[in-house]
Structure 1
Amino acid sequence: MTLAYIGLGSNLDDPISQIRHALSELGELPLCQLVATSSLYTTRPVGPQDQPDFINAVAALETKLSPLALLDQLQALEQRHRRRRLQHWGPRTLDLDLLLYDQEMIKRPRLQVPHPYMHERAFVLVPLEELVSTAKHKPIMLHHQPLTYWLTHLDQHEIQRLDDADVSTSATV
């Protein structure tokens, strides 16, 4: 089994529920097992600011799928959540990004791993660090630097961890 990390984001149609359902569905993908999930976080959108804030998380998934087969499964899951690609960095019901696939470096037209912008995004690195710090996985290196290096170079004021009360209250509104 290969360990892959998946970034999740949503800012439409009850984003907390979108992320919760997607996390559950990740564990049901063929030849995959969900092994860990981060807390949920709220962040301002990247790009156009005239859209709702995002709910983000990261999941650790053990898989026997190849990277491109896993990408196909992630995109199919986005489609089941009615993902529409109308605007670059625009609002979405569900966004799933293959962040890391073991220690592999992949550069293909459809897929780049590690995700090319993840080292610039607190909404990816903060939940990823949460997972890595609680597990006994290999240290994560991005552009020849450890994950902790990139965390110290990011503005983390724009990301807020949701506690259980926030998630419960939001889910009932």
Structure 2
Amino acid sequence: MIAQRVPVLLAFGANLGDRGETIRAAQREIAAARGVSELVASPLRETIALTADGPDESAPRYLNGVATAETTLHPHQLLDLLQSVEASHGRVRTEHWGDRTLDIDIILYGGRVVSDARLQIPHPRAFERDFVLAPWLDLDPEAVLMGHGRVAALLARVGDTTRSFEEPRDATH
């Protein structure tokens, strides 16, 4: 039996270390993983750190991006893969919304809704995060966030505080 390939949208963020190289290395690892194919990454954008108390100008700035892919993994298997990639890049989960070497979220998993103690899909705050919406719009100007509408309209509503990030020429390969 052939496993069904499901389209997914992943979001990436990092504000410690070599942020861009970490994100691109993680994307290469995910693209090479069994059960994942067709990964296409957005340009990276730089943003102010968002903490539990709101934006923090004094914290290291984030790089953020998104990627589309197809997977035959079930949602929790995909989450396990992403968390293992985060851990391999030094992700430590000590402070909620704290500084991090790498953060990877599942924004969409086909048209599925998942809601349990480990995972919520669609991502519950993606519709209000310019650092998800802006790179997603760069990747797909016609994008729609399930349950919330067109990404362009969502970004217009929340405002875009992100800025383009110039990567080294070979960073995306």
Match of 1:161 among 160, 164, 170: 164
Taking structure 1 as reference, are residues 141 and 57 closer, same or farther at Cα in structure 2, changes over 3 Å only?
Answer: closer
Unpaired segments of 5 or more residues in structure 2?
A: none
Segment of structure 1 superposing worse, 41-50 or 67-76:
41-50
Cα deviation code 1:120-152 (max 9, x no counterpart): 100001111222238xxxx52343422222111
Which 4+ residue blocks in structure 1 deviate beyond 6 angstroms?
none
8 Å Cα contact 1:83-1:92 kept in structure 2: yes
Q: What is aligned with 2:149?
A: 145
- Measure, in 2, the Cα distance between the counterparts of 1:25 and 1:51: 28
Determine if the alignment matches structure 1 residue 40 to structure 2 residue 44.
yes
Displacement of 1:13 after TM fit? 1.2
8 Å Cα contact 2:127-2:148 kept in structure 1: no
Task: Write 1 or 2 for the structure with the bigger share of helix.
Answer: 1
Cα deviation code 1:72-127 (max 9, x no counterpart): 10001100001011211111000000010011111111111110000010000111
- Measure, in 2, the Cα distance between the counterparts of 1:149 and 1:159: 16
SS in 2 for 1:153: helix
State, as a whole percentage, how many aligned pairs show the same letter: 33
Q: What is aligned with 2:105?
A: 97
Determine if the alignment matches structure 1 residue 85 to structure 2 residue 99.
no
8 Å Cα contact 2:127-2:145 kept in structure 1: no
8 Å Cα contact 1:34-1:59 kept in structure 2: no
> Scaled by the length of structure 2, what TM-score is found?
0.87
- Measure, in 2, the Cα distance between the counterparts of 1:140 and 1:121: 14
Cα deviation code 1:7-44 (max 9, x no counterpart): 00011111111111111111012110143110011000
How many pairs align? 162
Determine if the alignment matches structure 1 residue 125 to structure 2 residue 146.
no
Unpaired segments of 5 or more residues in structure 1?
A: none
> Scaled by the length of structure 1, what TM-score is found?
0.87
Q: What is aligned with 1:64?
A: 72
